[in-house]
Amino acid sequence: MASRQRKKRATAGDEPPTAVGDDGAADPSTAARSEPESEPTGEREEHRDPELNRWADAIRIDSDVFESKTEIFSLEELRERVARLGTQPGVREIVRFVREVGLPRIERLVARWLASREVREIDDFGFEPAFIEPLEAVAKWFHDNYFRVESRGLEHVPDEGRVLIVANHSGTLPYDGAMVVTAVREQHPSHRRVRALVEDFIYHVPYLGTLMTRMGAVRACQENAVRLLEHDQATLVFPEGVKGIGKLFKKRYRLQRFGRGGAIRLAIKARAPIVPCAIVGAEESMPLLSKVGWLARPLGLPYIPVTPTLPLLGPLGLIPYPTKWTIDFGPPIDIPSYAADALDDRVLVNRLNEQVRSSIQEMIDRRLRERRSVFFG
């Protein structure tokens, strides 16, 4: 019975109990806390802008937006805060920079940066023309001033349409491919862009494979080569492959075996003419004295080259000697005249393969007989 009366007393009434003192009077401190707080007045209210005050009184302010009308800044307070912000060291430097440079110039810089972030044109193989444009100037300087490349027979490369350029491979590092691409791009009447097929190991080197792809190189395989030729591209192949750039200096300018006729089968399949290409000067630009295979295999490389400067000089050993280069393009070999069933004729494929190899070897031997100096031609 007593517990029921206590529950009733605890729940009865809407008002909270009032604390009382020892003499039975209400506690004044507790009564003061129970009264609602009034809006703050004083200096902030006195500095309120009258026009803004009338505007604030005329509108209904939702408590979800502002806790009270005192949260609205006056115009004078806003000016004071902006002026205080301008005195901060970092802000002062930004303001001074903007004044010195000028807003129009900053707008142009921002517009140029935004334009550089736009989506660029990229083909099916990852080639990005906008990426290679500044690099073409560097390649042209090496072509014209460093290696002083002299080209003959560029008229044998057609102005348009599919063509397969077959060249010898040499020089330890594949600088010869870059020079052939630059020679056709800069000296050919139609300034054709040549797409080179590169070895698979390039794509095992971090970042290098992506770089080569953006520059226009394509991973070497029959499927990629056929697609390039079907799009009427000028395609560069090196049938010797790694054996070409990996042969020792004492075997320089002796063409290695041209595989099993992969270039011939490619030309027959895509019905593209073959233009033989002979490069002289690359062998002496980086003479390969020896190579290390056991250390290169874990890295996914065919070998680690040993030259007079590499690895002795570290990264500087990758710089080739400034030898005089010559690039000859021979008369095209008419492959499209052969029927598609010629792919199964091993005798024909081997005969055409040897014909292309002999043509390149003859052009190399002719150039070597004419040459008087490795560095001056």
71: in domain: no
Domain that holds residue 92: 77-116
CATH code (residue 252): 3.40.1130
Confidence of residue 106 (pLDDT cuts 50, 70, 90): confident
235: in domain: yes
Domain boundary among 90, 116, 142: 116
237: in domain: yes
What does the pLDDT look like over 171-200, one tens digit per residue? 888 899 999 999 999 999 999 999 999 988
Average pLDDT score over the chain: 81
200: in domain: yes
Same domain, 244 and 216: yes
375: in domain: no
pLDDT-above-70 percentage for the chain: 74
Same domain, 103 and 142: no
The one-letter amino acid code at 171 reads G
Same domain, 362 and 239: yes
- Using the 8-state DSSP alphabet, how is residue 40 labeled? P
Same domain, 214 and 314: yes
pTM of the model as a whole: 0.69
What does the pLDDT look like over 218-263, one tens digit per residue? 999 999 999 999 999 999 999 999 899 999 999 999 998 898 899 9
28: in domain: no
- Average pLDDT for 294-311: 85
Same domain, 85 and 183: no
Residue of 160, 161, 163, 154 whose CA lies nearest to 188: 154
Same domain, 134 and 108: no
**H-assigned helices in the chain:** 2-11, 28-34, 43-46, 50-58, 75-86, 89-101, 103-116, 129-141, 175-187, 208-214, 222-230, 242-245, 262-270, 282-285, 346-370
Residue of 64, 114, 178 whose CA lies nearest to 167: 178
